[in-house]
Structure 1
Amino acid sequence: MKPTTDLCDANENLIAQGVLRVVEPMFQSWGKKAAFSGQAHTLKVFEDNTLVRAALDKDGLGKVLVVDGGGSKRCALVGGNLGVLAEKNNWAGVVVYGCVRDTLELNACDIGVRALAAHPQKSEKRGAGHENITVALGHVRVSPGNWIYVDEDGVLVSDLSLS
């Protein structure tokens, strides 16, 4: 994967057209992979990680799980057990517009994780939420199948695969 800075420089026209979108800087990094990319599998949840576990329990096929948790900082949506599950089931990484926990365990996983913050409290288990819909990372929309590119410099969302 090319660095996100190079992808931005090479695709200024796509940024201007809205095809390539740059997510505002807000994420912290966990996991062994500082850089990862893949097509988006999207979830919209709020303080409930039931659908997150269900998604990560399936073969990720090298995709990136994008979890729109509404930006909540009142509990964690991903923890160490889910990090292990993501690694075992071939997910490239997880981007959470919300919080994570068990950060030492996440850092031991061979995946990339981005989230707003760490929070020690687990989420509720109501089974609420939506899968495979257009979600948001801050002000940037992400649709199922969009391409996600993540490295130390930021998070990109593209309607097209970028080389």
Structure 2
Amino acid sequence: MGLTADICDIYREKVTLADPMFKSFGKKQTFYGPIHTVKVFEDNVLVKKSLEDIPEGSVLVVDGGGSMRCALLGDNLAAIAESRKLQGVIVFGCIRDSGEMNDMNVSIRAVATNPIKSIKKGEGEVNVPVRFANVDWKPGSWVYADEDGILITEDMLDLSVL
């Protein structure tokens, strides 16, 4: 079984399942870690800054408002996530350079791809609660993801029991 299936078997009452709307990019399929959020719309300046600033081992959750008109993350930003050893990035919106990302040791989830780059105004909010995929993403909560789905919990789970 996979990580999320095992977690659901043991911790079903403690987890919330995100709607299965994300495609997977990068070589890593499984990841988990504490959530850091950024809320933007068609502007990825704060996405880059967050990738550079959040602690190693974290997961960046990007609420891009679900926009399909441009990408919020490309291979250059994915390289930052890879070099800083971030666990993963979840984008409620689009990414680009997916072919390059698929050759990188990263785990990216996004709704779709789009070759158009975002604007660069630096507008948005960092580390605020956001809601998409029918779940609340709160800074400091934990996310667990694999090929079967994405789970959110208030606290870190004891995975030694799996």
After TM superposition, the score normalised by the length of structure 1 is 0.93
Counterparts of 1:77 and 1:7 in 2: how far apart (Å)?
30
Q: Are 1:4 and 2:17 an aligned pair? A: no
Give the deviation of 1:153 after TM superposition.
0.3
Counterparts of 2:104 and 2:88 in 1: how far apart (Å)?
10
Structure 2 spans left out of the alignment, 5+ residues? none
Q: Are 1:96 and 2:91 an aligned pair? A: yes
Give the deviation of 1:142 after TM superposition.
0.6
**For each residue in 1:21-67, what CA deviation from the matched residue of structure 2 results, as whole angstroms up to 9, or x when unmatched?**
10010000001100011000101111100000111123531000000
Q: What is the root-mean-square deviation in Å for CA atoms of aligned residues? A: 1.1
Counterparts of 2:23 and 2:58 in 1: how far apart (Å)?
20
Give the deviation of 1:137 after TM superposition.
2.8
Paired-residue identity, %: 47
Q: Contact conserved, 1:42 with 1:133, CA < 8 A, in 2?
A: yes
Counterparts of 1:72 and 1:60 in 2: how far apart (Å)?
27
Match of 2:125 among 124, 130, 134: 130
Q: Contact conserved, 1:98 with 1:117, CA < 8 A, in 2?
A: yes
Counterparts of 1:114 and 1:150 in 2: how far apart (Å)?
9
Counterparts of 2:74 and 2:48 in 1: how far apart (Å)?
10
Q: Secondary structure at the match of 1:54?
A: helix
Q: Secondary structure at the match of 1:11?
A: helix
**For each residue in 1:80-139, what CA deviation from the matched residue of structure 2 results, as whole angstroms up to 9, or x when unmatched?**
000111111121110000000000111122110000001010111111000011012322
Structure 1 spans left out of the alignment, 5+ residues? 15-19
Match of 2:55 among 53, 60, 69: 60
Q: Secondary structure at the match of 2:50?
A: helix
The structure-2 alpha-carbon separation of the partners of 1:30 and 1:155, relative to structure 1 and needing over 3 Å to count, comes to: same
After TM superposition, the score normalised by the length of structure 2 is 0.93
Q: Secondary structure at the match of 2:49?
A: helix
Q: Secondary structure at the match of 1:104?
A: helix
Counterparts of 2:140 and 2:18 in 1: how far apart (Å)?
17
